Structure 1
Amino acid sequence: MKEQKFGTIGWIDLSIPNAEEVKDFYAEVVGWKPEPVSMGDYNDYSMLADGEAKAGVCHKTGINSDIPSQWMIYINVEDLEKSLETVKAKGGKLLTEIKDMGAYGRTCYIQDPGGATCALFEPAS
């Protein structure tokens, strides 16, 4: 796994009800090549450019059912709990519980005081 620098955007993805249709939309519009990522009963998609994953298009189901349907950036943080306490102290909101992403790390979706949303991501060590 590639080393993640704290404070940087580590990933972007989109979780929506119609991922099958939308992955094809982005394939046609921007030239990304969808690569299936098995989620057991269905596939989400890594969207590749020049053979490298640039973004994800995911089904809004299961663990993703409570994620806002918009392009989401994942900002790498060193200590997720500490960052989430600061979110609340500074007037932001937690939109989800902490989600375990297995070998990748943990994430939580937040809203800042201005109403914008993003995900904070603590990479696995």
Structure 2
Amino acid sequence: MAAQPEGTPVWADAMFTDLEGAKKFYGDVLGWTFGESSTEYGNYTQAYRDGKAVAAIVPPMPGQGPGQSAWVLYLASPDVGATAERIRAAGGSLLLEPMKVGTFGSMALAKDPAGVVFGIWQAGEHAGFELRDVPGSYGWAEVFTRDPDAANAFFPKVFSYGVRKLADEEVDYRVFSLGDVPVLGSMGMTPEVPPQVPSFISVYFVVDGCDAAVERVAKAGGQKVFGPMSTPFGRFASFVDPQGAAFSLIDPAAAEGEMPATVEVS
């Protein structure tokens, strides 16, 4: 598989105190199955849909506090060390310095000036998602932040994204693109978001039927935060899983309305 362009979302994982609980929840909601835990890498456990790797879950490292469960999106890099330097130069910081992960690749964890956490992945044997944009797999992600100006300046400096803004003046939504391909959204948190919720990247997984998925989430013990709502991009809803990790589900086949106009941001 050819290397993904720098800044392309290529992987997602999350840390859970109750790994078995996470397996049951996401198995029930998204139809995931799970591989053997890799004891060499802290019981890192890959999730599969139709036999293809779509994400991973991992318990806290020994000595590490339970912390807040959260999905982390990884962006592609041909040189994780060079990307780390650009993160610092753009005003971000490193939570985990660049490190090799066996023969699988190299990684780093970082955050933008407003505290949005994200990962960097330089592929080795593990290229990232083996399946995406179909039910049970990754479909989209948005930077959801209390400081959109900081995010909208930071990410294009690090990844050379082109930036377009929705023409609707009532919605400050940016789309980061690589060439003509949209790869990431960015929007500010509204006042309705509780103040204790930190800025984060909201990861969307694709489903076939959003309303049925909402019912599966409720039955599995998750909590609906928003939606379901129909948009030109699909029908979606946002949730918090039983261990506190935020995520969203979207059915692109249920899109309604015309695609909104966008304008380039200089």
Give the TM-score normalised by structure 1.
0.82
Larger Rg: 2
Moved over 6 A (4+): none
Give SS of 1:119's match: strand
Which residue number corresponds to residue 25 of structure 1?
25
Give SS of 1:96's match: strand
Give SS of 1:114's match: coil
Q: Distance in 2 between matches of 1:38 and 1:88?
A: 32
Q: CA RMSD in A?
A: 2.5
Q: Give the alignment of 1:18-97 within 5 angstroms.
A: 18-40=18-40, 43-62=43-62, 65=64, 69-97=69-97
Q: Distance in 1 between matches of 2:38 and 2:48?
A: 16
Give SS of 2:96's match: coil
Which residue number corresponds to residue 2 of structure 2?
3
Q: Distance in 2 between matches of 1:29 and 1:47?
A: 13
Aligned identity (percent) is 26
Which residue number corresponds to residue 101 of structure 1?
101
Q: Which runs of 5+ in 2 are unaligned?
A: 126-266
Q: Which runs of 5+ in 1 are unaligned?
A: none
Which residue number corresponds to residue 16 of structure 1?
16
Give SS of 2:44's match: strand
Larger RCO (CA within 8 A; separation ≥ 6):
1
Instruction: Check conservation: 1:19, 1:44, Cα contact below 8 A.
Output: no
Give SS of 2:83's match: helix
Instruction: Check conservation: 2:42, 2:58, Cα contact below 8 A.
Output: no
Q: Distance in 2 between matches of 1:83 and 1:96?
A: 13
* CA displacement, residues 12-53 of structure 1 (integer Å, 9 cap, x when unaligned): 111222212111111112211122233159743221111111
Instruction: Check conservation: 1:17, 1:61, Cα contact below 8 A.
Output: no
Instruction: Check conservation: 1:23, 1:45, Cα contact below 8 A.
Output: no
Instruction: Check conservation: 2:23, 2:34, Cα contact below 8 A.
Output: yes
Aligned residue pairs total 122
> Partner letter of residue 93 of structure 1?
S
Give the TM-score normalised by structure 2.
0.41
User: Residues 26, 52 of structure 1: CA spacing in aligned structure 2 closer, same or farther, 3 A cutoff?
Assistant: same
